[in-house]
Amino acid sequence: TQLLEQSPQFLSIQEGENLTVYCNSSSVFSSLQWYRQEPGEGPVLLVTVVTGGEVKKLKRLTFQFGDARKDSSLHITAAQPGDTGLYLCAGPTSGTYKYIFGTGTRLKVLA
């Protein structure tokens, strides 16, 4: 069974702190997407990473795809209350069309 495990599962921090969320698998992925989901809404795409070792920046968010394309990380600098939400990684395993989602990281940023 192909799994995407995210850690930590829950994270509560103060505004202005930095944090990193991890997404790990034993399988190789052809690409990985990161989504943020707010309560009662659908996931919103943040970024797609494709190349092993790739780093992408979206304002205060930095995404990295592992060299072997089995893991990814999301780093948030100077977190703000608006960053609060459920962060999900997802992607198709290499050679398949089947998308799998990570277990999710629920982030709460306190003002």
Partner 1 sequence: EAEVAQSPRYKITEKSQAVAFWCDPISGHATLYWYRQILGQGPELLVQFQDESVVDDSQLPKDRFSAERLKGVDSTLKIQPAELGDSAMYLCASSLRLAGVDTQYFGPGTRLTVL
> Which amino acid, 26?
S
- Beta bridge partners of residue 44, listed in sequence order: 36
Given candidates 74, 90, 107, 109, which one binds partner 1 under the rule CB under 8 A? 90
List 11, 21, 25, 35, residue binding partner 1 (CB under 8 A): 35
Sketch the per residue contact string, 64 through 83, with partner 1: x for CB under 8 A, - otherwise: --------------------
**At 15, is the secondary structure helix, strand, or coil?**
coil
C-alpha gyration radius of the chain: 13
Q: How far apart are CA 48 and CA 89, in angstroms?
A: 10
Q: For residue 58, how far is the Cα from the chain centroid?
A: 13
Using the rule CB under 8 A, give the single segment among 13-21, 53-61, 73-81, 87-95 that binds partner 1. Answer: 87-95
Question: Would you tell me which residues interact with partner 1 (CB under 8 A)?
Answer: 30-31, 33, 35, 40-45, 48, 50, 86, 88, 90, 92, 97-104, 106
